[in-house]
Chains A and B, each alone.
Chain A
Amino acid sequence: MSATDLPPRPAALRFVRGEGQYVADVRLPHMLHAFILRSPEAHAKLEAIDTDEAASMTGVRLLVTGTEIAAATAPQPIVWDLPGQRRAETRSLAHDRVRYVGEPVALIVADSERIARRAAARIRVRYGKLPAVTSAEAAEAPDSPRLYEDWPDNVVARANWLVGDVDAAFEHAAFVTDGVYISRRMAGLPLEARAVLAAPDAARNGLTVWTSTQAPHQVRAAVASCLRMPEHRVRVIAPDVGGAFGTKSCVYGEETLMAYAARKLRRPVRWIEDRHESFTSSVPGRDETVTLSLAFDAQGILLAMRGRVLLNKGAEPYAASIGSAWTGGMMLPGGYRVPALAIEALGVVTNTTPTGAFRGYGQPEVNFAVESAFDEAARRMQIDPAELRRRNLVRESEMPFQSTTGLVLDSGRYHALLDLALAKFGWDAARERTARERSGGTRSGVGLAFYVEATNMGPSPLCGMVGVRSGGFDVCQVRVEPSGQVSVFTGQTPMGQGVEAALAQLCAEELTLPIEDVVVIHGDTASCAYTGYSSGGSRGAGVGGSALIGAARKVKHKLLLLAAHLLDANAADLLLVQGGVQHRDDPTRRRSITDLAQAAYLAASLPAGMEAGLDERMAFDPPALGISYGVALCEVALCPDLIVRVRRILFAHDCGRQIRPDIVEGQIIGGIAQGLGTALYEQLLYEPDGTPRTTSLRDYDIPFAADMPPIELVHLETPSPFFPHGAKGVGESGVIPIPAAIANAVRDAQSSGDASLRLDTVPLIAGLLGGA
């Protein structure tokens, strides 16, 4: 099915009419408005807060400081708790100490946001400055300022992988590469910043919280736990979410704060994050340093790898813990055979905004390191960088293949896809042409990067093993209504990616109904199935879709039994075809799903023992991850003033079966855009004293339409054996190999030029301009 033949996404039909409903669009009677006063200090004692003048202003309804919150609420929950991980009693407002610029210090609730802002300007806080540390490297030093006095150092947690005799391999290697590859801090920057609206819910003696989140059930658990309320008295609704990219996958203190204020005031309280504050109040991503050495034999076969992934966790150990470093460690071998390895992953706290998840989650960082190192090795061996990959990639015949860190590569045709991509790109010709251009003085070059993406996040045992405190399963409920049309209840959260359309498609296929007959209900803990992990880790269509298929098949089974009863036939002789069940030999013996649904709900004539209604659910726990993979190739030119002009990108990938090719394409190209921003210019900078330098969209460059090169996509579909539909995730693929591919192309373009340029940091602008 080609992308343009697909029925339109129902959400797109609403969005183009301006009928999306984001949290800021929700209106409640008697709604109040919150503003959060944030710390201007990176590290300081909170010595005194004088709120008298602000509290007495007309229109101010509530003023809360950290002392009250510390007494009245429990600490924010730990979502990922690695073995040995350190703790901090982090709450939604700072008390006695602030640890980053932007940390919430006071909550003001007023009749309007403007009044709340004015009141905030009249709160006087006395800070006792403490020495600050902003970089992970500095925070590791023994004499570094400490963020938590009860910790022996600034390390949150660490994990190690040790396999084989690494030292011996390096001793006998013909070629060794050593490098330090830095991915700077960047913002996920969904165009809709965060927003929370909390309202008392008298009917459940509790609360309803609207929040722009990827994880409604996790927010429910957090709010209930922080406010010490029973979980079932909290309802969380994620209405339309204006982009997320991981930024909205963790729970935030503002959700607790608004819930607290709404309960206390018995009125709805709304907080809309301003873009300006989002640069320090929403979790950024990356900020990792990967130290990597590779050992090759004379034939270019990889013998061993030594790696260290160091994450700047920012000021608090929570959000996603050191998950991105851990994931990076696990993903370091990627799609390659690595006989021996020694890997350490760790995260340290610093006086910066806590980092969390951002699309790619550790994988672009290690991909940048490994693929840069492969190019370095290929240059030294004087072989085609593509050939060096070919010699080391896992072969199709070896699948499923357990990689050296334990990751199971489920399926794939790595060599076939690589060769297809090289041919489509015209790799050899482009290498020759750019080499000619370089001898003519134009600095152009080509580069490639192979990647794998861990998708369909799950296996609950895996989550348990690594300390993720939520199950990796997903629940879906398929309810055929008395009309014969279908409501699907999913725990997955659309955030623009269109997972609801993929689920509708799968349901329509299973039940042989037109897609218009399926509505997908999501983002409401009161009606939707429970999911622990929710939407993240590229699992929506893969895991959520598998649960849907399971539930739909149960419905189908019931339809066949019911039809057999009504048609006086043997169920084994019946088929579900075009929205009805009919006899395989006699299509006139047929009952439509509508007929069967009515029979099921009237329940006057059901087979013995059959329950009334037509409503099934399934909890699907994936047996393994689905590993998508691909290769990005690009061609660049360097302008005299060092703007990197990306001339074209070819992206070849395989995410198993594609349920909606239009969504796959949107995910890949959207990911490429963020990968291009990562590669070239997106970075959040700090002054040495911890003052953020990037607090405005004027200073944070994201790609616009004119910044995107022509993109060609190549698709291969190798089904995953572990999922009923064969589909793997694709949400993060686009972003993973682009930094390495562009950096490799720039290195190629620079090969005859200024060797002093540092190209081992992304964004490349950092090396090209020395941090300007």
Chain B
Amino acid sequence: MRVTLVLNGDARTLDVDTTERLCDTLRERLDLTATHVGCSEGVCGACTILLDDTPARACLALTVQCDGARVETLEGLTPADALSPAQQAFVQHGAVQCGFCTPGFLAVIEGLRRQGDAASWDEATLRRELSTVACRCTGYDGIVRAARAVLQPTP
């Protein structure tokens, strides 16, 4: 099947298998390996990417379903020679241990940032919104701190 994706800002036309998942197209066909596959059933969230600005599980989408959509992966969210504010916050606040869940969290936080209503959230709301990605290493404290630094910056 021929599909066109707007991938990290560039229109890409690809021939893919019907049953090919978006995560497999990204990883195996395009070598965009920042998108990690942790559970293949949408629970862990490691494969979360932005699909038309909304966080989505790349393991639960067939690539053919995404024809014409805008797909953004961590590669596309990473500045060439620097770190984004979210990436900096992750490093600074101890939000990263093994790194496997990190791209999923960064996609979710970027989605929340674009959505724009996180500024007034209390701790419980922020934690609930972040409970879409699993981390087995950090116990989440660093991730929540980093997310707060990004979504609720103090002037």
Contact = CB atoms under 8 A, between A and B. Distances in A.
Q: Does A touch B (CB under 8 Å) in the complex?
A: yes
Interface of A: 3-4, 8-9, 11-22, 24-25, 27, 114, 189-193, 240-243, 245, 274-276, 495-498, 662, 665-666, 669-674, 696-698, 702-708, 711, 734
Given A18-B74, A189-B136, A704-B134, A240 B99 contact: yes
16 contacts: A8-B91, A9-B96, A18-B102, A24-B37, A191-B44, A191-B137, A242-B36, A275-B41, A275-B44, A496-B97, A673-B138, A696-B43, A698-B43, A702-B136, A705-B140, A711-B141
Contacts of B127: 705-706, 708
A322 to B, nearest CB: 26
Nearest to B89: A16
Task: Say what secondary structure dominates the interface of chain B.
Answer: loop
A15 B102 contact: yes
B94 A18 contact: no
Interface stretch (B27-35, B61-69, B112-120): B27-35
Q: Nearest 9 A-B pairs (CB), nearest first?
A: A18-B34, A496-B98, A15-B99, A242-B100, A669-B139, A496-B97, A673-B139, A18-B74, A704-B131
Contacts of B35: 18
Given A16-B102, A20-B99, A497-B97, A669 B87 contact: no
Contact of A665 (B43, B83, B90, B94): B94
B43 A666 contact: no
A246 B144 CA distance: 26
A705 B143 contact: yes
B97 A702 contact: no
A670 B137 contact: yes
Contact of A27 (B31, B103, B131): B31
Contacts of A3: 94
Given A18-B78, A19-B34, A711-B139, A666 B94 contact: yes
B100 A670 contact: no
| Among B38, B41, B101, B133: residue with most chain A CB under 10 A | B38
A24 B97 contact: no
Given A18-B73, A708-B140, 13 more contacts: A8-B91, A12-B96, A25-B33, A191-B36, A243-B97, A496-B98, A496-B99, A666-B97, A670-B139, A697-B39, A702-B134, A703-B140, A704-B132
A13 B83 contact: yes
Contacts of B136: 189-191, 243, 245, 670, 673-674, 702
A20 B100 contact: yes
B142 interface: yes
Contacts of A241: 98
B1 interface: no
B109 to A, nearest CB: 11
A20 B35 CA distance: 10
A242 B94 contact: no
Contact of B100 (A19, A243, A274): A243
B46 A191 contact: yes
B34 A708 contact: no
Given A16-B87, A666-B138, A705-B130, A242 B98 contact: yes
Given A3-B94, A711-B141, A16 B83 contact: yes
B83 A697 contact: no
Contacts of A245: 136
A13 B84 CA distance: 11
Contact of A662 (B39, B94, B100, B137): B94
B1 to A, nearest CB: 15
Contact of B98 (A190, A193, A705): A190
B19 interface: yes
Nearest to A276: B40
A242 B127 CA distance: 23
A230 B134 CA distance: 41
A705 B144 contact: yes
Contacts of A25: 27, 33
Contacts of B143: 705
Contacts of B41: 275-276, 696-698
| Among A12, A13, A27, A665: residue with most chain B CB under 10 A | A12
Interface residues of B, number: 53
Nearest to A11: B99
Contacts of A114: 17, 19
A192 B36 contact: yes
A17 B84 CA distance: 9
Nearest to A707: B131
B98 A240 contact: yes
A19 B78 CA distance: 10
Nearest to B123: A710
Interface in B75-107: 75, 78, 83, 87, 90-92, 94, 96-103, 106
Contacts of B142: 666, 669
A705 B131 contact: yes
B98 A243 contact: yes
A190 B37 CA distance: 12
B83 to A, nearest CB: 6
B126 to A, nearest CB: 8
A176 B41 CA distance: 50
B33 A706 contact: no
B99 A242 contact: yes
A753 to B, nearest CB: 27
B151 interface: no
A324 B106 CA distance: 37
A708 B137 contact: no
A703 B140 CA distance: 9
Nearest to B103: A18
A666 B74 contact: no
B100 A192 contact: yes
| Among B33, B78, B96, B124: residue with most chain A CB under 10 A | B96
Contacts of A243: 97-98, 100, 136-137
A397 B31 CA distance: 60
Nearest to B32: A18
Contacts of B92: 4, 8
Given A17-B78, A191-B136, A706-B124, A12 B98 contact: no
Nearest to A672: B139
Contact of B91 (A16, A27, A669, A671): A16
Contacts of A703: 139-140
A398 B132 CA distance: 49
Contacts of A669: 138-142
A679 to B, nearest CB: 14
Contacts of B22: none
Contacts of A240: 98-99
Contacts of A495: 98
B140 A17 contact: no
A495 B99 CA distance: 9
A9 B142 CA distance: 14
B3 to A, nearest CB: 18
Given A16-B90, A669-B139, A708-B141, A274 B102 contact: no
| Among A114, A704, A711: residue with most chain B CB under 10 A | A704
B135 interface: yes
A742 to B, nearest CB: 15
A662 to B, nearest CB: 5
Contacts of B132: 704
